[in-house]
Structure 1
Amino acid sequence: MGEVIRRTKNGKFIGFYLRFYDGGRRRQIASKQPSAAEARKMLLQIEARIARGQAGIEDRRTDWPTVAALVDRFCAEYSRPRIKNIDKHRAQCRSCLKKVLPALGKRCTPQVTEDDVAKLRDALLRRHAPGTVKNTLATLSTAFAWGMRQKLAPRNPCKGVERPVCESAIDFLSRQELTRLLRVAADSSMLQHVAVSLALRTGLRKGELFGLRWIDLDLESRRLTVARSFNTTPKSGKARHLRLPIELVPLLRQWRDQCPPSPDGLVLPHGIKQSRMIGIDTMCGLPRLMRLAGIRRLPRPWHTLRHTFASHFIMSGGSIMALQKILGHADLRITMLYAHLAPDYLADEMDRLKF
C-alpha cells in the first residue's frame, strides 16, 4: 500500500508527496495537489494502473506513434534468430495485423487499453474463426512488446486480455478413404503415387516431403533423414532420423530410376519446371486425387495426410513418445492431441468405481 506524506521544510509546508511501489521498486513523487484528499485520490489512481499492469505514472511524452505507425515499423523491422524466412514472416504479420487497423490504427499507442483490445476481440469473433482471432491478438501483443523495447509504446494493452478458445479438432482419413486414395494415386502419375505414399507412411510435413533429397534416403539400410523443409531447415530447426517403412522401399527404388533430375537431387521435383522445387501453394494434384477417391473437401489436404498417419499409428498401438520423435514435435503436449485414439486410453478406468 502506498501512502501520502505531508512534507515540510524549515517548518514551512511544501506539499503532499506520494510514496508507492511500482514494479517492485519504491517510488516517491510530488503530487502537486492542493489537499490531502486530492493527493489520496491521485495515489489510488496510480495504484489502480499498476494493478492493471500499466505504468504507475502516465508518461507526459507527446510524440507517441499511432498503432498504424507501430504496425508499419514492426512489419518492416521485427526479427528473431529462429525465424527461417523473415520476409515471409513479416508479410504474414502484416496480413494478420490489417484486421486491427480499422478499430485501433489512428490511436496513439498509450491510448489503447485492455478494454479496447477486448472489444476488438469480440468484434473480430463475429467475422472470423476463433483461431484467426487468437493469432491476430498474439501478433498484436508481440508488436506492442517489441514497441515497448523500441520506446514506441509505454505498455502492452494485450497483456491480460483473455484470448478465444480454439478446439483442436484433428481430421484424418478413415482406413477405407486412405485405401481408395492410394489406389487412385497408383493409377495417376508416378510422382503423385510416391508423394501420397510417403506422406501416409511417414507423416512428413508438406515442406519436408518436397524438400526431401535422394542423399537423405538410404534404401539399403532404410535410413530416412529429415533435414529440410522445402529449401530451408525443418520446423523444429533440427534434422531428425527415421526408419524408412519397408513397404516404401520397392516403390522408391522404381521411382529412383524414373525420377527427373533436379539441381538439389529432389525425390519429388515438382513445379512449373521439373527442375524447380515445389512452391508452398502448389498442391501437386492432391485435391483432385481426393475428389476422385470420393473424399470430402479438406482445407489442408497435405496436413490431413500427416494427421492420418499419426492417428492410425496411435490406433494401431504405437507409442505416444515414439510418435513425438517421428513427427518432430518439440513439445509432447502437441503429440498428446492424438492420445485419445490409443486403444487402451482410459480403457478400464471408468470401471474402477465400485458401489
Structure 2
Amino acid sequence: MAVSKLSNGKWQAQIFPNGRDGKRIRRQFATKGEALAYEKHTKDQAQDKPWLGEKADKRTVFDLVKTWYNAHGTTLADGQKRKDAMEFACKAMGNPLATEFNARIFSAYREQRLAGKITRSSRVKKVTPRTVNLELAYFRAVFNELRRLDEWQAPNPLDNVREYKIAESEMAYLTDEEIRALLKECEASTSKDLLSVVKLCLATGARWGEAETLKGNQIRAGKVIFTKTKGKKNRAIPISDALLEVLPTSRKAKPLFTSCYSAFRSALKRADIETPAGQLTHVLRHTFASHFMMNGGNILVLQRILGHTDIKVTMRYSHFAPDHLFEAVNLNPLERLSGEKIGSKVAAEDVTT
C-alpha cells in the first residue's frame, strides 16, 4: 500500500488488499489526508473478513529461522552458530515451505548427513549422530520459541522425531602424578600466564575460556567470580591464599592473562599426556570434578561450583564418590555365602566326613 502525489497535484492511494498477487485498487483524492484515510479504511476492511479465511503462509523454514534469530537467537552465545547450521540444513533440504516441513523431510536429510552425502566441509565426510541430534534440537527450539511469540500457530513438526541414542563419552581426568608432570611443564613454558591459568582451572573447575579471560576485578574477598558463563549465571568460587598469591595483583577491569591455549597443548605433549578428542582443555574441569567426588565432595555442591543447570549433567561424576554403589560389595550373594566355603576343597571334605 502506498500514497503518492501525482503530477496533476492530486494524491493517489494504491492498495493491494489481498497482497501483491491480488487485486490492485487505485483512487485519486484532492488531499493527502483523504488518501491516507481511504488507505486505512480499505486495509481495515480487508482484515475484517473472517469468512475469506487466512492468507496462505508462504514463509520458508529459513524465513522462520531468521525470525527466530532476530527475536531470540541473537541473545544466545551460540546463536549465530545455530543460525549458520540451520541455514545449511535448510538449503540441503531444498528450503521447504514452513507449512510443508515435516518429520519425513528432516529424517531423509539426517540420513544423508550420516552417510556423508551432505557435508559442510570437504575435510569432514561424515558427521556423528551427536551432530544431527544438535541440529534436531536447534529446529525444535525454533518452532517452540516462535509458538511462544505467536509467530507460529501449528504444532511443532519435529515433536515426534526421536534423537539417536549415543553412548556416554569417556571423561578423562588426570591422576596426581599427571598433574605434577603437567604443572612442571607449565612452569617451564615460555608463556608467563600458563601456570596460573592451569592452576585456576584445577582449583575451581572453571572452563578454559572462563579462566583465560578472567579480569582483575573478578577476584574479590578470596573468591573468583566467573561471569558471562555458559549457564548465564555468575559463579563465585573460593580459592586458597596460596593460589591467590600466584595470581596477578591487578584489580582493574582488564584481562589478567594473555592467550596460552597453544602453550597448554605443548605442555600436555611434553608431559606425555593424551586426552580424548575434544577434551584438550576440558580435561582440567573433569579433573577437578573427579577429584572433588573422590575426596568425598557433595554432588549438589559440585553442581553449584561447576554451574550446571541440570543435575543430570553433574551426576556423570557421581561414580567417583568413595561409597558409590559400595553396597555391591557387601550385599551380593557370593559375599553372603562366602562363610559357607561353597565350592572349596574344605567344603567337599566336610561333606565326606
Both proteins in one fold, TM over 0.5: yes
Instruction: Note the C-alpha offset of 1:102.
Output: 4.0
* Alpha-carbon shift at residue 150 of structure 1 (Å): 5.0
In structure 2, how many angstroms separate the alpha carbons of the residues matched to 1:191 and 1:350? 46
Aligned partner of residue 322 in structure 1, secondary structure:
helix
Partners of 1:105 and 1:124 in 2: how far apart? 14
Question: Which of these two proteins has the greater Rg computed from alpha carbons?
Answer: 2
CA contact (8 A) 1:64 1:152 kept: no
Distance 1:262 1:95 in 2: 38
- 8 Å CA contact retained: 1:71, 1:94: yes
Report Cα offsets for 1:164-221 as digits up to 9, x if no partner. Answer: 2233322222333222111100112331111111111211122321343333335xx6
Q: Does 2:320 align with 1:327?
A: no
Structure 2 gap segments, 5+ residues each: 1-52, 116-125, 338-353
**Where in structure 1 are there 5+ consecutive unaligned residues?**
1-58, 272-281
1:61-107 CA distance string (max 9 Å, x none): 534222233334433x1316xx7x55x53311122214422442332
Aligned equivalent of 2:64, options 57, 70, 73: 70
TM-score between both structures, scaled by the size of structure 1: 0.66
2:102 corresponds to 1:113: yes
Distance in 2 (CA, whole Å) between partners of 1:187 and 1:134 is 42
Which residue in 2 is equivalent to 1:4?
A: none
Q: Deviations over 1:12-42 (max 9, x none)?
A: xxxxxxxxxxxxxxxxxxxxxxxxxxxxxxx
Q: What letter is aligned with 1:197?
A: K
Q: In structure 1, what is the equivalent of residue 89 of structure 2?
A: 100
Indicate how the Cα distance of structure 1 residues 147 and 213 shifts in structure 2: closer, same or farther if over 3 A, else same.
Answer: closer
1:217 and 2:219 correspond: yes
Say if 2:130 is the partner of 1:135: no
Distance change >3 Å, CA 243–CA 72, structure 1 → 2: closer
Distance 1:187 1:145, change over 3 A: same
In 2, the alpha carbon distance for the partners of 1:105 and 1:74 equals 19
Equivalent residues, number: 268
Report 1:269-280 matches (<5 A). Answer: 270-271=258-259
Q: Which residue of the partner structure matches residue 236 of structure 1? A: 231
CA distance in 2, matches of 1:153, 1:109: 11
Kindly provide the amino acid, as one letter, of the partner of residue 67 in structure 1.
Answer: V
Change (3 A) 1:301 1:353: closer
Inter-partner Cα distance in structure 2 for 1:171 and 1:99 = 33
1:295 lines up with 2:273 in the alignment: yes
Q: Report the Cα distance in structure 1 between the residues aligned to 2:155 and 2:215, rounded to whole angstroms.
A: 47
| 2-structure distance, mates of 1:353, 1:327 | 35
Question: Is the partner of 2:253 in helix, strand or coil?
Answer: coil
Using the TM superposition, give the Cα deviation of residue 160 of structure 1 relative to its aligned residue in structure 2, in angstroms.
1.3
Alpha-carbon distance between aligned partners in 2 of 1:352 and 1:120, rounded to the nearest angstrom: 50
d(CA) in 1 for partners of 2:279 and 2:192? 22
Residue 299 of structure 1 deviates from its aligned partner by 2.2
2: distance between equivalents of 1:210 and 1:191? 9
* CA distance in 2: counterparts of 1:267 and 1:238, whole angstroms: 21
Structure 1 range deviating more: 180-189 or 153-162: 153-162
1:6-21 matches, within 5 Å, as none
> Hey, what does 1:201 align to over in structure 2?
203
TM-score scaled by length of structure 2: 0.66
| Secondary structure of 1:166 counterpart | coil
Equivalent position of 2:42 in the other structure: none
Cα pair 1:314 1:338 within 8 Å, conserved? yes
Aligned equivalents of 1:89, 1:236: Cα separation in 2: 12
Q: Which amino acid aligns with 1:159?
A: D
Q: How does 1:303-314 map to 2 (within 5 A)?
A: 303-314=282-293
Deviation at 1:284, TM superposition (A): 5.3
User: Which string of whole-angstrom CA distances, capped at 9 and with x for unpartnered residues, describes residues 230-252 of structure 1?
Assistant: xxx23333333322134423423
